[in-house]
A and B are shown apart, each in its own frame.
Chain A
Amino acid sequence: MAYPQAAQPPVPSGTADQVAQPPSVKVILTSADVQRVVDRIAHQILEKTQGAADTVLLGIPTRGAPLARRLADRINAFETVDVPVGVLDITLYRDDLRRHATRKVGPTQVPPGGIDGKRIVLVDDVLFSGRTIRAALDALSDLGRPSSVQLAVLVDRGHRQLPIRADYVGKNIPTALSENVRVTLAETDGLDEVRLFGGINQ
Chain B
Amino acid sequence: MIRHLLSAADLDADTATLILDTAAEMATVAGREVKKLPALRGRTVVNLFYEDSTRTRISFEAAAKRLSADVINFSAKGSSVAKGESLKDTALTLQAMGADAVVVRHPASGAPHRLADWVDGSVVNAGDGTHEHPTQALLDAYTMRSRLGRLAGLSVAIVGDVLHSRVARSNVLLLSTLGAKVTLVGPPTLIPVDIPAALAPGTQVSYDLDAVLPDADVVMMLRVQRERMGDSYFPSAREYARRYGLDAPRMRRLAEHAIVMHPGPMNRGMEISPEVADSPRSTIVEQVTNGVSVRMAVLYLLLGGK
Selected from A92, A101, A105, A138, the residue in CB contact (under 8 A) with B306 is A101
Contacts of B60 in A (CB 8 A): none
A189 within 8 A of B: no
The B-contacting residues of A in range 13-51, CB under 8 angstroms, are: none
A102, B301: Cβ atoms under 8 Å? yes
Nearest residue, chain B, Cβ from A105: B25
B33, A108: Cβ atoms under 8 Å? no
Contacts of B37 in A (CB 8 A): 92-93, 142
Selected from B1, B18, B25, B33, the residue in CB contact (under 8 A) with A89 is B25
Nearest residue, chain A, Cβ from B25: A105
Nearest residue, chain A, Cβ from B23: A105
Contacts of A144 in B (CB 8 A): 33
Contacts of A141 in B (CB 8 A): 34
Contact A101-B33, Cβ < 8 Å, known A92-B39, A92-B300:
no
Contacts of B54 in A (CB 8 A): none
Selected from B32, B38, B302, B305, the residue in CB contact (under 8 A) with A103 is B305
Nearest residue, chain A, Cβ from B34: A142
Contact A138-B38, Cβ < 8 Å, known A106-B25, A108-B28:
yes
Nearest residue, chain B, Cβ from A135: B38
B113 within 8 A of A: no
Contacts of A142 in B (CB 8 A): 32-34, 36-37
Bound complex: CA of A104 vs CA of B302, how far in Å? 12
B38, A92: Cβ atoms under 8 Å? yes
CB distance from B280 to the nearest CB of A (A): 26
Q: Report the count of interface residues on A (CB-CB < 8 A).
A: 21
Bound complex: CA of A142 vs CA of B18, how far in Å? 24
B1, A102: Cβ atoms under 8 Å? yes
B265 within 8 A of A: no
Bound complex: CA of A108 vs CA of B33, how far in Å? 14
Nearest residue, chain B, Cβ from A116: B33
A107 within 8 A of B: yes
Most buried by B among A89, A99, A102, A144: A102
Selected from A93, A101, A107, A143, the residue in CB contact (under 8 A) with B305 is A101
A176 within 8 A of B: no
B38, A101: Cβ atoms under 8 Å? no
Residue-wise interface mask of B (32-50) relative to A, using a CB-CB cutoff of 8 A (1 in contact, 0 not): 1110111100000000000
B282 within 8 A of A: no
B22 within 8 A of A: yes
Contacts of A98 in B (CB 8 A): 305-306
Q: Which 10 A-B pairs have the closest CB atoms?
A: A102-B305, A142-B34, A92-B39, A102-B304, A101-B305, A92-B37, A105-B25, A105-B22, A102-B1, A102-B301
Where the two chains meet, the residues of B that have a C-beta atom closer than 8 Å to any C-beta of A are 1, 18, 22, 25-26, 28, 32-34, 36-39, 300-302, 304-306
Complex A-B: 28 CB contacts under 8 Å: A92-B300, A92-B304, A93-B37, A93-B38, A93-B39, A97-B39, A98-B305, A101-B1, A102-B301, A102-B304, A102-B305, A103-B304, A103-B305, A104-B22, A105-B22, A105-B25, A105-B300, A106-B25, A107-B25, A108-B25, A108-B28, A138-B38, A142-B33, A142-B36, A143-B32, A143-B33, A144-B33, A145-B33
Other A-B pairs, 15, CB within 8 Å; known A92-B37, A97-B305, A105-B300 = A92-B304, A93-B37, A93-B38, A93-B39, A97-B39, A97-B304, A100-B305, A100-B306, A101-B1, A102-B300, A102-B305, A105-B25, A106-B25, A107-B25, A145-B33
